[in-house]
Structure 1
Amino acid sequence: MVKYLGRRAFYMAATLLAISLVVFVIISLPPGDFVTALRAKYSVMGQGLTEADVQALRVRYGLDGNLLQQYWNWITRIVFHGDLGMSFEHSKPVADVIGPRLGATLGISVITLFVSWGIAFPIGVYSAVKQHSIGDYAATTIGFLGLAVPNFLIALIFIYFSVTWFGSVPSGLCSPEWCDASWNLGKLLDLLGHLWIPMVVIGTAGVAGLVRIIRNNLLDELRRPYVTAARARGVPEGRLLRRYPLRVALNPFFSTIGWVLPLLLVGDIVVGQILSLPTLGPILLAALKAQDMYLAGSIIMVLSVVTVVGTLISDLLLGWLDPRIRLGHQK
């Protein structure tokens, strides 16, 4: 296991290095740079910049070198000093920009993930065990609707009913009067009152997808010969379901960690904009529009690290859950 972890750690480092290079190149592909975007912004405001000003800004932000030099300066600061660089647009370190939002984003992500699992698991199992029942048809219909309706449309529907029924627009994770207050029971209740909306909106598609996956996997396992043989030997249905088919049906919960975590971490960018959520998604969108390459690149690298680590966690959990994977690894 130690050799396996060491080999995976080496592959993870090489993968992240390759991702960083690709990300930096892609972010730098649009014509111009941050100074170009800044110059256009000042022109709209009627405050033109001279060529000397533009050159001074490029030197100030380290944009006077070629793309390879800029990438090398950025990646070496990250690897050797843990410095994500300066955000051009915010004029402060990238860590200070994304740090305050990272806690809220992680909180929403983890809660949404566990709530999605808690909802999808019993519905998927019931839908498979009671195939062709009214409950199965209802779960299947709702699941297809959840996959078909975009999250931003669900967010807009929530806003519409909130304005119609309560006369207020749901936004952020706290009410204005509680945002700067110290933590107490009132602020916690206010947070919970705001938190359920992004949880429902962001987690809808995930719940619907997991229900479909669990239902189909469990149905496939229930038709296998070993299940028929166990039933013939008189194994009780509940015990049979828990010991064999259900364990295999759990695989999607763990195998999807690698791609579910980064999606939840950045959130739906459009949903974040609509609900004014303090997540990384809106910051990433603004950084890409402003060509703030260090801020955008750092956020994408954070997501890449989460993806790679999540994939490793998925592999380890699947090896623990499914003996076939462990035996295959030993061979």
Structure 2
Amino acid sequence: MVRFLGRRAVYMAATLLAISLVVFVIVSLPPGDFVTALEARYAVQGQRLTLAEVADLRVRYGLDGNILQQYWHWFTQIVLHGDLGMSFEHQKPVREVIGSRLGATLGISVITLLVSWGIAFPIGVYSAVRQRSVGDYAVTTVGFLGLATPNFLIALIFIYFSVSWFGSVPSGLCSPEWCDASWNLGKLLDLFGHLWIPMIVIGTAGVAGLVRIIRNNLLDELHRPYVTAARARGVPERQLLRRYPLRVALNPFVSTIGWVLPLLLVGDIVVGQILGLPTLGPILLGALKSQDMYLAGSIIMVLSVVTVIGTLISDMLLGWLDPRIRLGHQR
């Protein structure tokens, strides 16, 4: 296990180094930079920046060097000092901008994930055990509809019915009168009153996908010879299902940790924009539009770090859950 963790640590460091370079170059690829976008914004307002002001802004924001020089400055600040840099758009340290949205992002995503898993698991098991029943066909139909319908379309449908029936647009996670109030029972109830909409919108496709995964994997295991042999020995059906095929069918749930963790941080960008959610998704979109490369690059790097850590956790949990998987070299 120690050798496995050591090898993975080296691979993770090399992977993150390559990702950091690729991310920074891609974020910097669009023509111009933040100062160029700022010039265009001033021009729309009927104002113009002089050449001296533009040069001063490039020096101030560290944009006077080439891409490799800018990357090296950003990367060394992260490695040596843990400094993610300054956000050009928000005029704040990137760490503060990310931290201000991190709590709401994790809250929405973790609750959505737990509810999705809690709903998808029993439905997927029922659909596999009751294959070709009326319930199985109903679950399959709803699942395909959930996978085929974009989350942003579901969000727009919620907004339409909310305006038609209640005359208000669902936005954010709190009512205006509760946003600045201290935490109490009333604010908590108001939060739950707003939380169910993004939870349903974001979790729809996730539930549908997980139901399909658990159903297909469990069906595959239920037709294996060891299940037939256990039935022939008289093992009760529920005990058989719980001890053998269901445990193996859990592998997809565990293996998704690597890509689920970054989704917990960034959330659904388009849905967050439509519903006005205080998550990292809209911040990332705004940073890309304004070419705030330190903010955009840092958010993507945080997601990359979480992805490789999630992949490591998935590998270790799979090795513990499924005896057929070994983390070290076979002798």
TM-score by length of 1: 0.98
CA distance in 1, matches of 2:183, 2:13: 39
1:209-248 superposed matches below 5 A: 209-248=209-248
CA distance in 2, matches of 1:281, 1:5: 32
**Distance 1:285-1:326 versus aligned 2 partners, 3 A rule:** same
Q: CA deviation at 1:98?
A: 1.3
Name 1:157's counterpart in structure 2.
Answer: 157
CA distance in 2, matches of 1:114, 1:316: 21
Matched, 1:28 2:49: no
Name 1:275's counterpart in structure 2.
Answer: 275
- Structure 2 unaligned regions, length at least 5: none
Name 1:72's counterpart in structure 2.
Answer: 72
Amino acid at match of 2:200: V
Instruction: List per-residue Cα deviations over 1:73-111 (Å, max 9, x = no partner).
Output: 101111111100000111111111111101110111111
Amino acid at match of 1:7: R
Amino acid at match of 2:140: T
Name 1:305's counterpart in structure 2.
Answer: 305
CA distance in 2, matches of 1:133, 1:70: 61
User: Cα RMSD between the aligned structures?
Assistant: 1.1
**Are the aligned partners of 2:202 and 2:268 in contact in 1 as well (CA < 8 Å)?**
yes
Name 1:208's counterpart in structure 2.
Answer: 208
**Are the aligned partners of 2:85 and 2:294 in contact in 1 as well (CA < 8 Å)?**
yes
1:104-123 superposed matches below 5 A: 104-123=104-123
Amino acid at match of 2:82: G
Name 2:171's counterpart in structure 1.
Answer: 171
Q: Secondary structure at the match of 1:177?
A: coil
1:287-302 superposed matches below 5 A: 287-302=287-302
Q: Secondary structure at the match of 2:170?
A: coil
Of all paired residues, the percent bearing the same amino acid is 87
Q: Secondary structure at the match of 1:178?
A: coil
Q: CA deviation at 1:329?
A: 5.2
Instruction: List per-residue Cα deviations over 1:233-280 (Å, max 9, x = no partner).
Output: 101101110111001111111101111221232111110110000011
Name 1:83's counterpart in structure 2.
Answer: 83
CA distance in 1, matches of 2:166, 2:315: 46
**Are the aligned partners of 2:4 and 2:327 in contact in 1 as well (CA < 8 Å)?**
no
Q: Secondary structure at the match of 1:115?
A: helix
CA distance in 2, matches of 1:122, 1:98: 36
Q: Secondary structure at the match of 1:323?
A: coil
CA distance in 2, matches of 1:103, 1:56: 36
Name 1:261's counterpart in structure 2.
Answer: 261
Name 2:59's counterpart in structure 1.
Answer: 59
Amino acid at match of 1:325: I
Q: CA deviation at 1:2?
A: 1.6
Q: State which drifts further: 11-20 or 211-220.
A: 11-20
CA distance in 1, matches of 2:202, 2:330: 39
Q: CA deviation at 1:284?
A: 0.5
CA distance in 2, matches of 1:193, 1:265: 22
**Are the aligned partners of 2:128 and 2:218 in contact in 1 as well (CA < 8 Å)?**
yes
- Structure 1 unaligned regions, length at least 5: none
Instruction: List per-residue Cα deviations over 1:151-179 (Å, max 9, x = no partner).
Output: 00000111111112222111101111111
**Are the aligned partners of 1:128 and 1:219 in contact in 2 as well (CA < 8 Å)?**
yes
CA distance in 2, matches of 1:329, 1:137: 44
Instruction: List per-residue Cα deviations over 1:183-221 (Å, max 9, x = no partner).
Output: 000111111111111111111111100100110000010
**Are the aligned partners of 1:109 and 1:261 in contact in 2 as well (CA < 8 Å)?**
no
Name 1:40's counterpart in structure 2.
Answer: 40
CA distance in 2, matches of 1:247, 1:17: 37
CA distance in 1, matches of 2:183, 2:6: 42
Q: Secondary structure at the match of 1:176?
A: coil
Name 1:4's counterpart in structure 2.
Answer: 4
Amino acid at match of 2:214: I
**Are the aligned partners of 1:127 and 1:139 in contact in 2 as well (CA < 8 Å)?**
yes
Q: CA deviation at 1:326?
A: 2.9
Q: State which drifts further: 109-118 or 20-29.
A: 109-118
**Are the aligned partners of 1:154 and 1:201 in contact in 2 as well (CA < 8 Å)?**
yes
Name 1:129's counterpart in structure 2.
Answer: 129
Number of matched pairs: 331
Amino acid at match of 1:240: L
**Are the aligned partners of 1:230 and 1:240 in contact in 2 as well (CA < 8 Å)?**
yes
Q: CA deviation at 1:330?
A: 4.6
CA distance in 2, matches of 1:303, 1:196: 25
Q: CA deviation at 1:70?
A: 0.4
